[in-house]
Amino acid sequence: MTEITIDIVRHGETYLNQLGRAQGWIDMELDPHGLEQASATGKALADTYYNIIISSDLKRAVQTRDQIIKHLKHVPDVAYTDKTFREVFFGYFEGLDSEANWRTIAVQHGYQDHDDIIRHESLKSGRNMMHDMDPTGQAESYDEIIARWRRGLKTLVNKADDGDRVLLVTHGTFIRTIADALGVDTVGNFPTNAGVTTITANENGAKMVEYNKKF
């Protein structure tokens, strides 16, 4: 059985992060602080030997990946982008104020905000509430996100050799959803820009090793 270790990195900060906007599939570049964050993570990971490096195809993830690569002492031959690992798609709510989005959704269900939904129900409930309230019907549901993650993970495990270590640069809500599915309590603990979450994975699924390590 092939078992690999994956360091999952959230991209560095963007201008929309500064403004508290729901970014989703909007293709924003890193801001200067985001470039610094990515470089700091690259320096922290400099001695790590990666066999494969992957990023989401969105600019902020690609830029973060490339900043990290600059600092690695070993750069693998296999490095590519894969849209399977994009951020969650927020549909109608893309580009809008994130806190305002969640207040609107939460109030309709008798709660105050997103964390209040999670505390009383679950992160899955929150994702599905957004999906159900999206007038376009395009916001991804929890199960759609997890199905997308599992497809990407299966492809990655099949591509890798046993014992490989992989660097995957992706997005905050996507990472948070994966962590939730692996049993992590993420209330008040959203993945940090350029933070690292480490998992192990094989053909049967994944296990959490460390969530949201900050550099």
- Residue by residue, DSSP assigns 5-69 as EEEEEEPPPBHHHHTTB--TT--PPB-HHHHHHHHHHHHHTTT---SEEEE-SSHHHHHHHHHHH
Residue 4, SS3? strand
Q: What is the pTM for the complete model shown? A: 0.97
pLDDT score of 1 more than 90? no
Residue 43 included in any domain = yes
Residue 127 included in any domain = no
* CATH number of the domain residue 187 falls in: 3.40.50.1240
Residue 29 included in any domain = yes
For the chain, how many structural domains are there in total? Answer: 1
pLDDT score of 71 more than 90? yes
Instruction: Give the pLDDT confidence score for residue 52 in this predicted structure.
Output: 97
Residue 158 included in any domain = yes
The range of the structural domain enclosing residue 36 comes to 4-93+140-213
Residue 197 included in any domain = yes
Q: What percent of the chain has pLDDT over 90?
A: 96
Residue 37 included in any domain = yes
Instruction: Give the pLDDT confidence score for residue 47 in this predicted structure.
Output: 98
